[in-house]
Structure 1
Amino acid sequence: MTEWSRWWGGTLCLLAIYAGAWRTLEAGDWPRFRGPNGSGIPADNEPVPTKWSPDQSVQWRTELPGAGVSSPIVIGNRVFVTCYSGYGLNRQEPGNIEDLARHLVCVDRKTGQVLWQKAVGAIMPEDPYTGMGVPAHGYASHTPVSDGKSIYVFFGKSGALAFDMDGNQKWQTTLGAESDPKRWGSASSPILTDDLLVVTAGPESRAVYGLDTKTGKELWKAESSGLGDVWGTPILTEGKDGRTDIVIGAPYEVWGINSATGKLSWFCEAIPSDSYSSSVVLAQNTIFGITGREGGSIAIKAGGYGDISESHVLWSGRDRSRYGTPVVQGNRLYYVNGGIATCLDATTGEEVFRARLEGGADAAPAAADFGFGFGRGRGGDYSSPVLADGKVYYVAESGVTYVLKAGDEFEQLATNRVTENSENFAATPAISSGDLFIRSDKALYCISE
């Protein structure tokens, strides 16, 4: 049982300024990591392309000012993505760590034109570009989040920052300068609930923070030593008495944190792993999680109070998806690990199908050698599947996007690439109003009919 177990006892209708006018976040927006509440499923029902190539349906390619594995987000006619430059782009010659900078880039979704970009110098000391962790993903692993009136980013030891829609910095709040025990670096993405920015600064300070979106002021801080081994992004669930819980997977447990107070609402003994690298997902009032080097899966009824280990676990198993987060639609859960696609019955955890993804890998360009994917093989793919228009989309590190039919039988519909260049793809794609946005370590792409 973790420290938090022992410690226990102690929307889409926001108004926002965009392009000089007030607007509301719409169903087509993809405002955070894996879209609406981290589901991996867009709120709209627009058809999404099935097949493409560098010469077909790739509407534009925009060169980025640096590398990164963070995912793009989409607000109206703008796409936002983060990256880094100046250091840590080549394992043999990483450069001077003092030159490290992170960038927030705003792109016009129709044309791919860069509307603005802001560079933020790194606050030292930073984790060096050594070992097996940091070189595997670099220094821009956190996906931005937006409420429609501001863009919020988390840059690890350089803290959380807010920018308005025109790129003007509103505030910056540092959230610790420690490192995780494994020296793997930082990856959890921020999320929003009402006027609260929730930042999981596990490696930096072993804490989850609740910040005022207007000022960056700390409203609460929830601490636990177990957060040093957390790299997933939280989701939101509705708790008892109308409360909102921030739910995150942690070593050996899943936690629900009251968003109003930062206090632990509930905890559940879960996957027997000393780290949690993927994210949990919510569907039909059930929380699903799969992670662990040795594997582990669980389904937990959302809500409750206190220790819900005996009362709320619906099923558990040994499914393995170390980095990727599953996607759930209806009574089917899909995940990809090591080049193998698996579908589970979401109500029972029983396997529906399991099949190896076909084609693409041998024909794909070789991965660039600057750290991402060195010697990891297919088990090192970082991307998570997303689902739209009755299809599951999964981007491998090689840049191959596999399109599967969402159903009870394995049916691979297409194998696609956006470029013949040598680029690394570790980000989860974004889907907005029928458009698919994919980023590599070098560029951002828009696929559309």
Structure 2
Amino acid sequence: MEEIYQVKHITEPVNWETDVPGSKSITNRALLLAALCDGPVQLNGVLFSDDSRHFLSSLQSLGYEVQIDEPKAAVRVNGNGGVLPAHSGEIHVGSAGTAARFLTAMLGVSEGTFVINASGQMQKRPMQPLFEALISLGASVEWLGETWHLPVRITGAGAQIRNMEQEAVLNLDISSSTQFLSAFLLIAPMFPHGLKIHITSEKKDGSYIRITRKMMQEFGVEAAFDSCNYTVAPSNGYQKSQYQIEPDVSGACYFYAAAAMTGGTAKVHHVHLDSMQGDMKFLRLLEQMGGTLTEESDGIRLTGPSDGLKGLEVNMNDFSDQALTLAAIAPYASSDVKITHIGHIRGQECDRLYAIVTNLRNAGIICEEGEDWVCIHPGKPQPCQIETFDDHRVAMAFTVMGLGCDGIEILNPGCCKKTFENYFDVLDHLLGKH
């Protein structure tokens, strides 16, 4: 793809109907769950992207038999019942936070010594609470770069865990990432007497944790939560022969946001109100701003307000992937939009609060920021280039802003391959550019 994407300014309300790829979050959880099953598991609706390909190649590097059919969005994983097929090896997780956290946890409680490599972007992201928990269980970690960050050489605590005579107990801080908790919940069946996780941070739950628990339940293992502790009792492990992955609501939100912003309509196939994904809250947010949701047999339709978006103040802690999307359409609202409780997005693929403020100001939009909030004033975006900071969500969100004005260019649009590699092709098709 060219290194700059010119966003087409549209002057009419959109009238879109489209598909989006499978959920990245659900795909990568399903891959780990399938690997921990005993026997083959057929996964359908799989997202193929940079992140999931790194997860798949890592499983193959660890000795798992994996059959991949990209045209059919299908993967067959031959699970090994919670025991690694290999006792040594090297994996590369790329920029995939889920692969980095989930596979590090699995290797840390297995037997053997493994090297975990990552992209420069992932090497900067927080890992310390995960490593501290693994070390407390008996794993040993050699830092191959910066302390508490990838890359590492890790020797797992499998033998110590196998010889435990009672449930394992962990203390875990999830303020910088709930993926640490999801990682330990997913591998809990590898603990013969069960696992109890005491959450030490103020944040104790979240939408992605609820996805993890729901998927564990669908694979036959319950994770209980008493508002402070998560407990997984001893079990016979995960049991599943096939599993259907939901479409990615995060990816769908960009098309819904365009409909809300232009006063048009968008339907994304196979997205339904009973979805387990936390970003469904963004659709409810668009309702608060004046949109209308309609559930149809083949997906949800959102119709934007004919008289413009309403401003609001919203705590987006629990669906913060869409903070960028809301920020990108906020200039078109009739009053200020204030997004709060999103300090943790500074430690994601890039400092996303910095990305929001930088790009809005470059477009001539007035905004203020604090450590964990941003307030955006209405205004007409001016021509500018959007700096994506190699972050797929920055690229996709600010493309939506560009639909409503002239002269917006997206730098490095190829970064979308992390989760939605044909995003701009889908958009061009909807815009009639093909």
Tell me the TM-score normalised to structure 2 length: 0.28
| Bigger radius of gyration | 2
Tell me the TM-score normalised to structure 1 length: 0.27
Higher percent of residues as strand: 1
